């Protein structure tokens, strides 16, 4: 079936991959070099599809991937004017994520790899997030060399973990959430406040006009010496406060802003404190913060030394998958057409 794939021989040769990310609800396609340069990236988010349910419906997510994915691949070639002969491999997220969603991306990637005779590279979604700050395009270049070691704080709707990256492919999870992810803490609070889904960005905006000291929310596990997180207690405290306030009237206006600011401050305090503790513990100074919650403006202010990607590379995107895929291709770490899809539970650790 199809053509035989060729794997580049020299590890320092710059390679270019087509990348596909469909691990959750965003369908994303990119063309990226092993230098981290993004030639093309476009994503189709499904926020409008899932908003009425207040969370992601897996069945709807994979159904929409099947509709959105191939048009994005077509667009990638059309916009860049690149041809298949200028693509060295196909990178795809194969874990962790929603099973049906992953299956759509991986099946399409396998088919394209077989038909066009390209090597297939399976990429761990979390590994992609960790390298996202080092992507560059016409608008953004951090100009920071991405030499390891560094410590990554990965915060999104599905995961919250601190990872020590000692070199490419060598990862140690130092801490993770014991219950909800940081993004979930934002989204569930948003649901109680009737702000729609996902609510992180809106809470961030409202919080800019609020007093972060007005309500005292718990800072879970702050006193613990380990690097784990827990957000379910904060979530409960948040809903109880909203319930209490709504007994005397609708929660809106300045009170809503103050609530958002105080709640966000509790999350930002815990995340920044734990990252600082990891730096002290491991003795590695370079830090990166990635994942959807890394778009948060307060978090960025509280961690001035950390490297943050721009918003488009924080949320789930194929560019980060392509960068890791291209780096793997350079060292010959390719997958077979029997690549396995692994949903695994949220907060799956990245293995070394
Ligand atoms: O990385 P992502 O796009 O998808 C997952 O892998 O989960 O992250 C989505 C999460 C959502 O929970 C959303 O509310 C949160 O990122 N988020 C934010 C902000 N923008 C997105 N949370 C706080 N502040 C923001 N500005
Ligand atoms: Zn993600």
| 23 Cα nearest atom in ligand 1 | 6
Strand partners, 29: 20, 42
What is the Cα–Cα distance from 327 to 329, expressed in whole angstroms?
5
Mean pLDDT score, 204-233 = 93
For residue 6, name the pLDDT band (cuts at 50, 70, 90): low
Does 351 have pLDDT greater than 70? no
Residue pLDDT, tens place only, 261-306: 999 999 999 999 999 999 999 999 999 999 999 999 999 999 999 9
80-103 core/surface letters (b: 16 or more CB in 10 A; e: else)? eebeeeebbbbbbbbbbbbebbbb
157 C-alpha to ligand 1 centroid (Å): 5
| 314 Cα nearest atom in ligand 1 | 1
Nearest listed ligand to the Cα of residue 189? 1
Extended beta strands in 177-310, E state: 287-290
Helices (H) and strands (E) in the chain, counts: 11, 9
What phi and psi, each to the nearest 5 degrees, are found at residue 121? -130, 115
pLDDT of residue 48: 87
What is the Cα–Cα distance from 151 to 172, expressed in whole angstroms?
10
Residue pLDDT, tens place only, 173-210: 999 999 999 999 999 999 999 998 889 999 999 999 99
pLDDT of residue 1: 52
| 183 Cα nearest atom in ligand 1 | 12
Ligand 1 within 6 A of 160 CB?
no
Best of 55, 183, 185, 210 to mutate for ligand 1, by most ligand atoms within 8 A of CB? 183
Q: How far is the CA of 40 from the CAs of 49, 73, 88, 309, 327, in angstroms?
A: 25, 10, 15, 16, 17
Residue pLDDT, tens place only, 315-327: 999 999 999 999 9
Ligand 1 within 6 A of 201 CB?
yes
* Tokens standing for residue 201: 């960005």
Look at ligand 1, atom 16, and give the residue with the nearest C-alpha: 292
Nearest Cα residue to 279 out of 153, 155, 177, 134: 153
Sign, CA dihedral 121-125-130-133, equals positive
pTM over 0.85: yes
Mean pLDDT score, 26-32 = 97
Ligand 1 within 6 A of 198 CB?
yes
Ligand 1 within 6 A of 96 CB?
no
Residue pLDDT, tens place only, 72-115: 999 999 999 999 999 999 999 999 999 999 999 999 999 999 99
pLDDT of residue 208: 98
Ligand 1 within 6 A of 309 CB?
no
Please state, for a pLDDT cut of 90, what percent of the chain lies above it: 83
pLDDT of residue 5: 65
pLDDT of residue 81: 98
Question: What percent of the chain is helix, strand and coil (3-state, nearest 5)?
Answer: 45, 20, 40
Ligand 1 within 6 A of 122 CB?
no
Ligand 1 within 6 A of 21 CB?
no
Ligand 1 within 6 A of 128 CB?
no
Does 222 have pLDDT greater than 90? no
pLDDT of residue 7: 63
């Amino acid at each position: 079936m199809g053509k035989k794939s060729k794997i580049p021989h020299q590890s320092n040769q710059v390679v270019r991959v087509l990348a596909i990310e469909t691990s959750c609800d965003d369908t994303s396609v990119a063309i990226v070099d092993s230098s981290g340069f993004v030639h093309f990236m476009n994503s189709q988010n499904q926020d409008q599809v899932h908003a009425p349910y207040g969370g992601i419906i897996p069945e709807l997510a994979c159904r929409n991937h099947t509709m959105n994915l191939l048009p994005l691949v077509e667009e990638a070639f059309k916009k860049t004017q690149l041809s298949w002969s200028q693509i060295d491999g196909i990178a795809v997220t194969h874990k962790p994520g929603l099973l049906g969603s992953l299956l759509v991306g991986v099946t399409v990637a396998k088919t394209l790899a077989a038909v066009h005779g390209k090597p297939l590279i399976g990429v761990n979604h979390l590994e992609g997030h960790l390298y996202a700050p080092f992507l560059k395009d016409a608008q953004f270049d951090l100009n920071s060399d991405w030499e390891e070691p560094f410590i990554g704080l990965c915060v999104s709707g599905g995961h919250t973990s601190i990872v020590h990256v000692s070199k490419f492919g060598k990862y140690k999870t130092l801490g993770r959430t014991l219950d909800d992810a940081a993004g979930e803490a934002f989204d569930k609070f948003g649901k109680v406040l009737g702000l729609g889904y996902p609510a992180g960005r809106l809470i961030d905006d409202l919080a800019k006009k609020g007093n972060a000291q007005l309500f005292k929310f718990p800072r879970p596990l702050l006193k613990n010496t380990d690097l784990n997180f827990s957000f379910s207690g904060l979530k409960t405290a948040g809903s109880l406060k909203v319930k209490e306030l709504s007994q005397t009237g609708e929660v809106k206006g300045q009170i809503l802003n103050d609530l958002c600011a105080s709640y966000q401050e509790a999350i930002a305090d815990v995340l920044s404190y734990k990252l600082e503790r990891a730096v002290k513990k491991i003795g590695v100074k370079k830090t990166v913060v990635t994942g959807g919650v890394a778009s948060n403006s307060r978090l960025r202010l509280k961690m001035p030394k950390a490297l943050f990607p721009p918003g488009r590379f924080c949320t789930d995107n194929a560019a980060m998958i392509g960068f890791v895929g291209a780096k793997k291709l350079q060292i010959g770490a390719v997958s077979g057409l029997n690549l396995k899809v692994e949903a695994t539970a949220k907060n799956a650790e990245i293995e070394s």
